[in-house]
Amino acid sequence: MKPAPFRYHAPNSVSETVTLLAELGEDAVVLAGGQSLVPMMNLRLARPSDVIDLNRVQELAYVEARGEWLAIGAMTRHSEAESSAEVRNGAPMLAQALPHVGYPATRARGTVGGSIAHADPAAELPCVLLAGDGVVVLQGSNSSREVPAEDFFDGPFTTRREADELVVELRLPRRGDHEFAAFDECVAKSGDFALAMAAVTVVMDGRTCLRARIAIGGALPVPMRCRDAESCLEERDLSRAAVDKAASIAEAQARSAGDGSGTAEFRAHLVGVEVGRALAAAAGLGGAR
């Protein structure tokens, strides 16, 4: 199928883009890598009045280490972030997650900003941003704001972004000393959207876990932090028993957040498995739960 008719705009800068967004109103959309938007338009699930193509907005494609932060421009392709030494060193959890985003062809065009703005509940990057205490930077025509990842994702394909705002940057605190991270997911076949995923970071003092962040996704309407599982690890020895307990708490949280159907029950189980695997990897325990 072909998309419904629309007007096409190709701005060269962020300021031109946000001016267009403000003028054209909420039926206008921006086009980034097109990996989700174009199929939706072709299937007529999306019928925007105007398409604002970001592909000439060069200023949004970068990966930069800025003091304690890693900043990634919204138009950075998944494949560019995947091959970035800054990402590998500063945000190893993101580096682990990126190869799971679709296929090489998807990652060659798809953008990190697009993944965050689209907010697919089964997407990897929102889950990583949550576990990494990340921040989404939004630019409107008159002002910009920084939204913690935890406040950004509202529901399936829904975020706190206003229609006239552009996602311009993602920020993740760069990995600190004694901080370990892991990402793991379960898919029916390589390249598919995940059935369940977990992103974790732990800050260790010897075998003691000082701070834990656990985010789960795939089996839920929106990726979420598992605070109860985190607090059962903090200030304790990160043993296999502690990991198993945290995984069980995450599974119970996923079950209560799901729709209770047989499939949701199974996927909640997979969430527990993924949390156990990611925690074991981050803690250097090895072996699957």
Q: Which spans of this chain sit near ligand FAD (rule: CB under 6 A)?
A: 29-37, 74, 101-103, 106, 110-111, 113-115, 117-118, 120, 123-124, 166-167, 193
**Strand 63-66 to strand 69-73: parallel, antiparallel, or no bridges (unpaired)?**
antiparallel
The tokens of 192 are what? 């598919």
Report the C-alpha gap between 185 and 285 in whole angstroms: 18
Residue 61 CB, nearest approach to ligand FAD (Å): 11
Residue 26 CB, nearest approach to ligand FAD (Å): 11
Instruction: Give the list of residues 6+ apart from residue 86 with CB closer than 8 angstroms, or none.
Output: 63, 64, 65, 70
Residue 31 CB, nearest approach to ligand FAD (Å): 5
CA angle 227, 191, 56 (to 5 degrees): 90
Task: Give the nearer residue to ligand FAD in terms of CB position, either 189 or 286.
Answer: 189
Report the C-alpha gap between 33 and 54 in whole angstroms: 9
Instruction: Give the list of residues 6+ apart from residue 215 with CB closer than 8 angstroms, or none.
Output: 127, 128, 130, 131, 198, 199, 200, 223, 224, 225, 226
Task: Give the nearer residue to ligand FAD in terms of CB position, either 165 or 230.
Answer: 165
Which CA distances in Å does 216 have to 192, 219, 267, 268?
17, 8, 11, 10
Element (H, E) at 187: none
Three-class DSSP category at 40: helix
Residue 129 CB, nearest approach to ligand FAD (Å): 12
Task: Give the nearer residue to ligand FAD in terms of CB position, either 115 or 201.
Answer: 115
Task: Give the nearer residue to ligand FAD in terms of CB position, either 11 or 113.
Answer: 113
Number of CB atoms found within 10 A of residue 33's CB: 23
Task: Give the nearer residue to ligand FAD in terms of CB position, either 123 or 202.
Answer: 123
Task: Give the nearer residue to ligand FAD in terms of CB position, either 165 or 251.
Answer: 165
Task: Give the nearer residue to ligand FAD in terms of CB position, either 98 or 279.
Answer: 98
DSSP conformational letter for 49? S
Residue 261 CB, nearest approach to ligand FAD (Å): 22
Residue 133 CB, nearest approach to ligand FAD (Å): 20
The tokens of 238 are what? 């990160």
Residue 131 CB, nearest approach to ligand FAD (Å): 15
